[in-house]
Amino acid sequence: MVFGWGKKKDAIVDDAIEPVATSSTEITLEEIPQILDDVKNLRGKTLIAEIRSFRNKIDSDRKNLLSIANELKNDNLKTDDIDIHLKILVNRGKSEVISTIQREFQTSFAEINSLNDVFEFEKKATKAIKKVGDVLGKHTRVIHIFARKYAKKLKVDLEVRSSYLKEVQELVSNYKANQEFLSIINQNIEKISTTREDITKQNKRRIELQNSFEQESVKFEELTKKYDEFISSSEYDEYISNKSKLDGLDAEEKKIRYRIDDYFVRISRPLNKYVHISSLDKPLKILNEKLLVSLYDNLTETSSSDIITILDSVQAAISSGSISVKDTEKSIEQIKNIKQTLPSMIKEKTDFYQNKSIYFENLKKFDIEGFNACKSGIKKAEDEISNIESKQSMLDKQIEENDALILNTFFTLETNLKSASSVSYKIITE
């Protein structure tokens, strides 16, 4: 402000407040709410008493400020001989200063009996002093040049009043800061309560996981024992032996298939041509087409007579010239050869499958489904144990973090309690 309200006298204090002697005492978490209530009530009563004192001082000086304004109002400031335009400016400034002082300080401030009264007083006093300071700053030249003696009085009055207001604001600010500490303390108490509930739930979950771990471990041991019994049994050895022999039969079957199918490859050309001119019944035509793909897959004791019928028909077609071949005699000879060897081929295939079926029957002596279920169960139990161990590890870490959080929160509580109450407390954590 140009008017010069920046300088101030030393703040006036009624009585020096003796510092509160710090002490150390042990308390439980349950005792803290009562301590907070006591601190809140004490701080509130102290604030009300202190602000009431400043209210009385500011309200007392209010009459002095109004007296200065009334005196200024009745003073013409010797403006009769000055320029008319300047006179208008002086009177306008004088009028605005007087009306502002009267408007803001005409009525006395309300008595201070509660915290709401404190906050309302701070608000109104701040507004009133700011309004007067602003209007004096706005008309600073007019007041200093044409109302010098009033300027000095107003300056001194506003400086004292501003110093009182600053004390009021600091007291209110300190009170609010203290309340914030109390609020933080309550939040930390709630945090401890919530975290303890979390730890209780986590410990309960840890017991559940441990029970599940023990159950799965027993299951794993039982299945492992059963698996060992499976693989140490004579049935398992026989199963492995028969399985190995069956796997070896695959190569043997390929050789038999190749040898049998090779017979028909030699007559595939006339056999293929016969498909298009055949007068056989439909089932025989279908069999004819299948024989072109594989004799082995369609060769059985049941189908042998039909195969011979087809071969006879093809042979007759070659002989009659219905089917043209490069060497008639050779083709006929090959067909005759196939018909002669057909019984031995059927026997070879039949013997092979009978031998193969014996191995299959031997495989059934071993409980392969039970064995596979046992292996699957072991794998499932292993996965579940690993999953449980992972959950246990994560849960232990969470409990450890929550334990540390509680300890840190207790330390924060003690620090904030000391800041809020000026008393050193040691909270019993057990």
More confident residue, 175 or 152: 175
Q: What is the mean pLDDT of residues 374-379?
A: 94
pLDDT of residue 220: 94
Mean pLDDT of the chain: 82
What is the pLDDT, as a whole number, of residue 190?
93
Whole-model pTM: value is 0.58
pLDDT mean over 374-378: 94
Instruction: Kindly indicate the confidence band of residue 20, based on its pLDDT and cuts at 50, 70 and 90.
Output: very low
Residue 320: pLDDT band with limits 50, 70, 90: confident
* Of 81 and 410, more confident: 410
Rounded-to-integer distance, Cα 209 and Cα 214, Å: 9
Residue 3 has pLDDT above 70, yes or no: no
Name the amino acid, one letter, at 32.
Answer: I
Comparing CA positions, the residue from 415, 34, 400 lying closest to residue 188 is: 415
Q: Which residue has the higher pLDDT, 98 or 369?
A: 369
In this predicted structure, the answer to whether residue 423 has a pLDDT above a threshold of 90 is no
Between 284 and 76, whose confidence is greater?
284
Compute the average pLDDT of residues 16-32: 66
pLDDT band of 397, cuts 50, 70, 90: very high
Q: pLDDT: is 298 or 22 the higher one?
A: 298
What is the pLDDT confidence band of residue 146, given thresholds at 50, 70 and 90? low
Tell me how far apart the alpha carbons of residues 429 and 412 are, in angstroms, rounded to a whole number: 13
Q: How far apart are CA 186 and CA 168, in angstroms?
A: 27
Residue partners of 230: CB distance under 8 A and separation at least 6: 236, 367, 370, 371, 374
Name, of 117-131, 140-154, 194-208, the range with top average pLDDT.
194-208
How does pLDDT run across 343-373, given as a tens digit for each residue? 888 888 888 888 888 888 888 888 889 989 9
pLDDT given for residue 17 in this prediction: 39
| pLDDT, position 274 | 72
Higher-confidence residue: 359 or 49? 49
Given a contact cutoff of 8 angstroms between Cβ atoms, the answer to whether 135 and 97 are in contact is yes
Cα–Cα dist 73/349, whole Å? 137
Place of tokens 């400020």: 65
Q: pLDDT grade, residue 144 (50/70/90)? A: low
- Percent of the chain exceeding pLDDT 70 equals 89
Could you tell me if 112 and 118 are in contact, meaning their C-beta atoms sit under 8 angstroms apart?
yes
DSSP 8-class letter at 5: T
Alpha helices in 266-367 (DSSP H): 268-277, 282-293, 295-298, 304-320, 328-363
pLDDT at 181: 84
DSSP state of 81: T
* More confident: 147 or 277: 277
Q: What is the CA radius of gyration of the chain?
A: 56
- 151-155, 193-197, 315-319: least confident range: 151-155
- Supply the pLDDT for residue 5: 37
Judge whether residue 8 has pLDDT over 60: no
Output the DSSP codes for 369-396.
HHHHHHHHHHHHHHHHHHHHHHHHHHHH
- Residues 338 and 264: beta-carbon distance below 8 Å: yes
Highest mean pLDDT pick, 63-67, 291-295, 414-418: 414-418
Please report the pLDDT score of residue 261 as a whole number: 81
- Indicate whether 13 pLDDT > 60: no
Provide the sign of the torsion angle of the four alpha carbons 97, 100, 106, 109, taken in this order: negative
253 pLDDT higher than 80 = yes
More confident residue, 400 or 284: 400
Amino acid code (one letter) for 163: S
Lowest mean pLDDT among 5-9, 146-150, 213-217: 5-9
pLDDT reported for residue 82 = 67
Contacts of 10 (CB under 8 A, 6+ apart): 163
* Number of Cα atoms under 13 Å in the Cβ half of residue 405: 17
